[in-house]
């Protein structure tokens, strides 16, 4: 039996620990925070990651499968076969791409059932990978989304309302989003200039993330969107076969930049976000941890912006009503998390783990894993944590 938060009652019968394989191809910090929470609810966590990953600094060190950054797909396939996990969790966008390609290569192979169970229906893998395609699905469902069109360079300059937003498919962490406030800024992204800027952006991300394969990734299209004024918000959910199992939402009070990830968030309840998320999850038949980005205008319904088919930096947080996605996954896989509930999230502003705030300073409650000294050292030392969203 479970209550409304997705947590078990005290009489639940324990079963064997389930094994999770976390796949982290970028050196982001929040996957380690999530891994610690997954361990705390009884999962046996194993990892495939680079040698500079924060996942290697967990107090309870998971079994580690090495990653060859020049042969990522082969490394991940070997790890899956050696681990034989009950569920796989891609922790970043390149990991999603690798898992999709593994399925495409052998849709009837030994890991196909695992990938379908963990990621969702393969008919929608290609859609999930493209921002523009997901927005088309959302629009068809009646979800409020910004007006958008394919960006056609200089031909797209007529009749544009400013400010507007340019978004590149197959990008992450705010690196593929630009806000143009006037025609001269928009012109900077047209013709050969757009190609050169796109190439330089690719080189920059490859350098920052120390990921050479990013230089040869498949190119993404560019979409021109109407700018929607409001507060950025995110809904983190756990879903299975097109059904939302549990979820909670936050609104960003501060971000690292105009198109960058949130640094300070506050819990929020918004029925429009909930309804839109459930509709998109059902339409794309998603499974696993997912994050949905929205804009909350001062008046009117929320606008859906983007799907991240992976965990986000709030996926480990306990919501005000007790919702805890790691515990919900434990129950989904037939396990029983500890009867003692995780600590409640603050009802006010919270500084996300590994972030810094220029606006709020030290007045915030912080998301700190006191039982993870290795992660605390990384965060306190200002180590680079990647362009996480």
Q: What is the CATH number of the domain that holds 154?
A: 3.30.1490
pLDDT of residue 65: 97
C-alpha to C-alpha distance for 71 and 67, rounded to whole angstroms: 8
Residue 184 lies in a domain: yes
193 with 274, same domain: the answer is: no
Q: What pLDDT sits at residue 257?
A: 81
In angstroms, rounded to a whole number, what is the distance separating the alpha carbons of residues 36 and 57?
A: 10
Domain-ending residue, one of 226, 253, 279: 226
69 and 23 fall within a common domain: yes
The verdict on residue 13 lying in a domain is no
Residues with Cβ within 8 Å of 109's Cβ and at least 6 positions away in sequence, in order, are none
CATH number, domain containing residue 87 = 3.40.50.20
Distance CA 376, CA 354 (A): 8
Residue 106's domain comprises 19-128
Considering the domain architecture, whether residues 239 and 366 belong to the same structural domain is answered as yes
Q: Is residue 138 part of a domain?
A: no
Q: Give the model's pLDDT for residue 297.
A: 96
Looking at the fold, whether 339 and 280 belong to one and the same domain comes out as yes
Asked which of 226, 244, 268 is the last residue of a domain, the reply is 226
Q: What's the CA gap between 277 and 223, in Å, rounded?
A: 22
Same domain? For 171 and 243 the reply is no
pLDDT of residue 207: 46
In this prediction, residue 175 carries a pLDDT of 62
Is residue 153 domain-resident? yes
236 and 191 assigned to the same domain: no
Looking at the fold, whether 239 and 323 belong to one and the same domain comes out as yes
**Residue 101 and residue 214 share a domain:** no
Verify that 44 and 101 share a domain, yes or no.
yes
Q: What's the CATH number where 339 sits?
A: 3.30.470.20
Q: Which of 226, 246, 264 is the last residue of a domain?
A: 226
Distance, CA of 289 to CA of 245 (rounded, Å): 10
In a domain, 76, yes or no: yes
Q: Which of 379, 165, 144 is nearest to 280 (CA)?
A: 144
Per-residue pLDDT of the chain (389 residues; tens, 9 = 90+): 444 455 544 444 444 689 999 999 999 999 999 999 999 999 999 999 999 999 999 999 999 999 998 899 999 999 999 999 999 999 999 999 999 999 999 999 889 999 999 999 999 999 999 888 999 999 999 999 998 877 766 656 677 888 888 877 666 555 667 788 888 777 775 554 455 455 554 544 544 444 444 444 555 677 788 889 999 999 999 999 999 999 999 999 998 887 788 999 999 999 999 999 999 999 999 999 999 999 999 999 999 999 999 999 999 999 988 899 999 999 999 988 887 666 666 678 999 988 888 787 667 888 888 899 999 999 887 544 444 54
- Rounded to two decimals, the pTM is 0.86
**Number of folded domains that form the chain:** 3
Assess if residue 7 is contained within a domain.
no
Note whether 127 and 184 are within 8 A (CB). Answer: no
> β-pairing, 87-90 with 19-24?
parallel
Do 89 and 153 sit in the same domain of this protein?
no
- pLDDT the model gives residue 46: 98
Please tell me whether residues 362 and 237 are part of one structural domain. yes
The confidence score (pLDDT) of residue 156 equals 60
Q: Same domain for 262 and 364? A: yes
């Amino acid at each position: 039996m479970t209550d409304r938060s997705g947590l078990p009652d005290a009489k639940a019968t324990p079963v064997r620990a389930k094994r999770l394989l976390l796949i982290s191809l970028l050196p982001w910090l929040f996957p380690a925070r999530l891994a610690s929470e997954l361990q705390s609810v009884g999962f046996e966590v194993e990892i495939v990651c680079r040698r500079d990953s924060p996942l290697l600094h967990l107090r309870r060190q998971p079994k580690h499968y090495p990653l060859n950054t020049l042969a990522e797909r082969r490394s991940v396939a070997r790890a899956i076969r050696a681990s034989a996990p009950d569920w796989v969790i891609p922790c970043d966008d390149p990991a999603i791409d690798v898992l999709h390609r593994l399925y495409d290569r052998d849709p009837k192979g030994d890991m196909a059932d695992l990938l379908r169970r963990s990621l969702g229906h393969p008919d929608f893998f290609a859609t999930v990978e493209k921002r523009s395609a997901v927005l088309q699905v959302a629009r068809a469902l009646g979800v409020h989304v910004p007006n958008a069109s394919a960006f056609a360079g200089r031909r797209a300059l007529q009749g544009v309302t400013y400010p507007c937003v340019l978004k590149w498919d197959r990008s992450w962490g705010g690196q593929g989003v630009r806000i143009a406030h006037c025609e001269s800024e928009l012109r900077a992204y047209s013709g050969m200039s757009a190609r050169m800027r796109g190439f330089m952006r690719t080189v920059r991300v490859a350098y920052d993330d120390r990921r050479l394969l990013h230089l040869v990734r498949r190119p993404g299209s560019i979409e021109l969107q109407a700018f929607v004024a409001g507060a950025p918000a995110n809904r983190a959910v756990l879903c299975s076969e097109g059904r939302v199992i549990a979820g909670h939402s936050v609104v960003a009070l501060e971000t690292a930049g105009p198109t960058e990830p949130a640094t300070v968030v506050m819990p929020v309840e918004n029925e429009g976000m909930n309804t839109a998320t459930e509709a998109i999850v059902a339409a794309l038949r998603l499974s696993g941890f997912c994050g949905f980005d929205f804009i909350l205008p001062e008046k009117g319904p929320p606008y859906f912006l983007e799907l991240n088919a992976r965990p986000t930096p709030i996926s480990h947080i306990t919501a005000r009503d007790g919702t805890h996605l790691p515990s919900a996954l434990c129950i989904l896989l037939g396990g029983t998390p500890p009867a003692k509930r995780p600590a409640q999230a603050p009802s006010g502003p919270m500084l996300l783990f590994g972030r810094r705030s220029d606006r709020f300073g030290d007045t915030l409650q912080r998301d700190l894993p006191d039982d993870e000294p290795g992660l605390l050292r990384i965060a306190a030392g200002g180590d680079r944590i990647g362009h996480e969203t």
